[in-house]
Amino acid sequence: MTRLDALNAIYSRLEPRVVVTNMGAVAAELQSIGHRPNFFYLQHAMGLASSMGLGIALSKPDRHVIVLDGDGSVLMNLGGLTTLARYRPRNLTHVVFDNESLLSVSTARGDFPTATSTGSDLARIAAAAGVPRTITVSTIDALVQALDEAIAAGDLATIVAKVEAVGPPAYVTDLSLLENRFQFQRYLRS
Partner 1 sequence: MSPVSTTNSGVIYQAMKNCGIRLMSALPETWLVHLIRMAEEDPEMTLVRLAKEEEGVGISAGAHLAGVKSAMLMQNHGLLASINGIVSCAQLYRIPLLMLVSYRGEFGERDPWQTEGGGVTEELLRALRIPFSYLDRPDHVAARIAKAQTLALSANKPVALLLCRDLMWEDA
CA 159 to CA 122: how far, in whole Å?
Answer: 9
Q: Among the residues of the chain, which ranges form H helices? A: 3-14, 25-34, 49-59, 71-76, 78-87, 122-129, 140-153, 177-189
User: By CB under 8 A, is residue 159 in contact with partner 1?
Assistant: no
Answer for which of 79, 110, 115, 166 binds partner 1 (CB under 8 A) is 79
User: By CB under 8 A, is residue 45 in contact with partner 1?
Assistant: yes
Q: Which residue number, 80 or 168, has a Cβ lying nearer to partner 1?
A: 80
Cα→Cα distances 171→142, 161, 189, Å = 28, 21, 29
Q: Which region, judged by CB under 8 A, interacts with partner 1, from 52-60, 111-119, 131-139, 166-174?
A: 52-60
User: By CB under 8 A, is residue 175 in contact with partner 1?
Assistant: no
Q: Which residue number, 62 or 169, has a Cβ lying nearer to partner 1?
A: 62
The residues, ordered by sequence, that sit 6+ positions from 147 with a Cβ below 8 Å of its Cβ are 10, 13, 93, 95, 159
The residues of the shown chain that bind partner 1, judged by CB under 8 A, are: 20, 40, 42-45, 47-60, 77, 79-80, 82-83, 86-87, 177-178, 181, 184-185, 188-189
